[in-house]
A and B are shown apart, each in its own frame.
Chain A
Amino acid sequence: MGYIYAIIILGGINIIAVLGVAILTCYTGLFSIGHAGFMALGGYMSAIMVKEFNIPFPFALIIGGTFAGLCSFIIGYPAFRSRLRGDYFAIATLGFSESIRLLLNNTKTIGNITLGGAFGYMNIPSHTTVLAVIVCVILALYFAHMFVTSQYGKNSISVSQDEVAAQMMGVNLMKTKMIALFISAFYSGVAGGLLGFYFAYLSPSFFSITKSSDLLAAVVFGGIQSLIGPFITAFVLVAVPELLRSFAEWRLIIYGFLFVIVMIFRPQGLLGYVEINMSFVRVFWNKLFHRKAKTQEG
């Protein structure tokens, strides 16, 4: 039973982080391979809040998420101001997350807080329970849905489809992208916090480029402009490697080949353009059993 719980908790945490990436990547068209960095920032921050300042766990998660969100402006502002092209924004995020990891690796103490550098931040109180994760996942999904269907979310979608036209129609690109980035980093920060309160310690090595690749994989397989697609794949991608231990070392290799295969045969992902409501079940059914030749996305 404990094993199942572990999968639910890790799967749930992954879902929250992936929803964050989905808001940025699938809805705003900004590619990030550095969300592990935001997870680390949020994780360390919320752990410090609880362990050193005795702030209640839910508030600590919110503080951690907000901290990650604010830090995202460090790359967001210069990158969006210079209208960095998609691939190069991805580089900037990767550089950012590697910098965070490096910084944590070399920070033994801040004031009288012992962060432990590469050895990790120890003795974080365990607060992450199955219930807490389920509550967080439900809230995360609900708020993500509210955001992407709001006027703000639709502006994000327009930016992802044609940035120039969106701006000509009055969309403030900087503001729209910053909002999406903030929310996305907030989600990752909360996920990082939950991770720390589950393992009872945090190590910079949790937040390597591998973690970012995992998040990206869930989004690519799940589908663009869909929350439910990445939701499903985020869980599956945690559960399957956990259940098939021997498969673990092949995981990233298979992801790699799948990236190529998905792009060639089904670029919109598993459930691309499917919004959350009950009709997704029907759509999913149709897609599985009545495969129509679909035209590619333009």
Chain B
Amino acid sequence: MELFIQQLVSGISIGAIYSLLAVGYALVYSVYNFTNWAFDGFMAFGAFMAFLAISSALEAPFWVAALISIVLTVLLAVTSEKLAYSPLRKRKAPRLFMMISAMGVNLAIVNLINLFFGGTFRKFPVDNLQPIFIGNVSVGRMDLMAGAISFGVLALLWLFLYRTKWGLGIRASSIDILTASLMGINNDAVALIVFGITGVLSTTAGIFFGIKYAVFPMMGLVTIKAMIASIVGGLGSLPAAILGSMLLGILETLVSGYISSTYRDLFSFFFLIVILLFFPNGLMGKSGDEKL
């Protein structure tokens, strides 16, 4: 029972990390109709910047390092939108081109990191925190923190989207970007905000993932899980993305705890296939009829 609860907490914290990523994907997808493959690179970049800020001569405290890396990643995300997506968007290129362009950004970022830092696994420099004991159950402090902060960030995002004027603009753009711009919403500003948000989300995910496992250039591959989670939940909606992420995170941790950690990733993939066979539109998804 203790083991089960520990696993559950760990699963929730992983699910929370996946949620950050999955929500980022869903946000870009809902407005721009393409999957921002470069997310993977942003995440690794964010984690590396935080790592550097702490372990370099700067010796920044954790929170400062996190802040620095968020700012830098947001800058990177916004630059990539300006250079790689904006020109395509402006001439209404097919989604496929956006996707390839995003893959290019990702290849470049990940391999630049690899070139400068090498492919080795690094331990994220935070103190080994003592686990908290609740009765007999020991719970990782980092797991709790990752879960709490991730949900905090998601809650802030929700408030931003549903309680502010800019949030309204983004939601309007996600319904019809052309009409939104005719109604006086500045498309460029929306793009900067949306990509800025993805920078924040991916960095947060990157830092917590780095603490939990390690910091390495290919760490962003975990974003596959977030994409799987958003397919499982049902495409195109933020709550579905979170549901899928939590489910995947928890199930995955249980598999690695009770069966084998080696086959954890294999499990996620087969889980996706099984879900697709029985719920072709994901758990919460609606069928996407195309307008004729």
- Listed in ascending order, the chain A residues whose CB lies under 8 Å from chain B are 29, 31, 33, 74-75, 78-79, 81-88, 90-92, 94-96, 98-99, 102-103, 106, 164, 209, 213, 216, 220, 249-250, 252-253, 255-260, 262-264, 267, 296-298
Can you list 5 A-B pairs, Cβ within 8 angstroms, ordered by A? A84-B276, A253-B107, A256-B107, A256-B109, A260-B83
A217 to B63 alpha-carbon distance, docked (Å):
39
Q: Are A88 and B235 in contact (CB under 8 A)?
A: yes
A85 to B103 alpha-carbon distance, docked (Å):
16
Say whether, besides A88-B227, A250-B115, A95 and B268 are in contact (CB < 8 Å): yes
- Listed in ascending order, the chain B residues whose CB lies under 8 Å from chain A are 34-35, 37, 83-84, 87-88, 91, 93-101, 103-112, 115, 218, 221, 224, 227-228, 231, 235, 262-263, 265-266, 268-270, 272-273, 276-277, 280-281, 288, 290, 292
A83 to B221 alpha-carbon distance, docked (Å):
24
Say whether, besides A98-B265, A102-B265, A263-B88, A78 and B104 are in contact (CB < 8 Å): no
Return chain B residues, CB-CB under 8 Å to A78.
273, 276-277
Return chain B residues, CB-CB under 8 Å to A94.
224
A87 to B100 alpha-carbon distance, docked (Å):
10
| A-B contacts besides A87-B95, A91-B228, A164-B292, 12 pairs, CB < 8 Å | A75-B273, A85-B235, A90-B99, A91-B35, A95-B272, A102-B262, A106-B263, A252-B108, A257-B104, A263-B93, A263-B98, A296-B93
Q: Which of B37, B268, B269: most chain A Cβ within 10 A?
A: B269
CB-contact partner of A99 in B101, B105, B265, B281, under 8 A: B265
A114 to B159 alpha-carbon distance, docked (Å):
57
CB-contact partner of A88 in B83, B231, B265, B273, under 8 A: B231
Q: Which residue of A lies closest to B91 (CB)?
A: A296
A213 to B107 alpha-carbon distance, docked (Å):
8
Q: Which residue of B lies closest to A79 (CB)?
A: B276
Q: Are B97 and A267 in contact (CB under 8 A)?
A: yes
Q: Which of B35, B37, B94, B272: most chain A Cβ within 10 A?
A: B272
Q: Are A259 and B228 in contact (CB under 8 A)?
A: no
Return chain B residues, CB-CB under 8 Å to A81.
276-277, 280
Q: Which of A87, A213, A216: most chain B Cβ within 10 A?
A: A87
Return B233 CB to nearest CB of chain A, in Å: 12
A204 to B70 alpha-carbon distance, docked (Å):
35
A296 to B268 alpha-carbon distance, docked (Å):
39
Return chain B residues, CB-CB under 8 Å to A92.
231, 272-273
**Minimum-distance CB pairs A-B, first 10:** A259-B104, A256-B108, A256-B107, A82-B280, A87-B35, A78-B276, A252-B111, A260-B104, A95-B269, A263-B101
A/B pair count, beta carbons within 8 Å: 128
Q: Are B280 and A83 in contact (CB under 8 A)?
A: yes
Q: Which residue of B lies closest to A217 (CB)?
A: B107
Q: Which residue of A lies closest to B276 (CB)?
A: A78
Q: Are A31 and B96 in contact (CB under 8 A)?
A: yes
Q: Are B111 and A267 in contact (CB under 8 A)?
A: no
Say whether, besides A74-B273, A91-B224, A260-B84, A86 and B107 are in contact (CB < 8 Å): no
Return chain A residues, CB-CB under 8 Å to B228.
91, 95
A29 to B95 alpha-carbon distance, docked (Å):
12
Q: Are B104 and A263 in contact (CB under 8 A)?
A: yes
Return A40 CB to nearest CB of chain B, in Å: 14
Return A139 CB to nearest CB of chain B, in Å: 29
Return chain A residues, CB-CB under 8 Å to B35.
87-88, 91
CB-contact partner of B99 in A31, A103, A106, A213, under 8 A: A31
CB-contact partner of B107 in A82, A102, A252, under 8 A: A252
Q: Which of A75, A95, A260: most chain B Cβ within 10 A?
A: A260
Q: Which residue of B lies closest to A91 (CB)?
A: B227
Return chain B residues, CB-CB under 8 Å to A74.
273
A34 to B110 alpha-carbon distance, docked (Å):
18
Q: Which residue of A lies closest to B96 (CB)?
A: A86
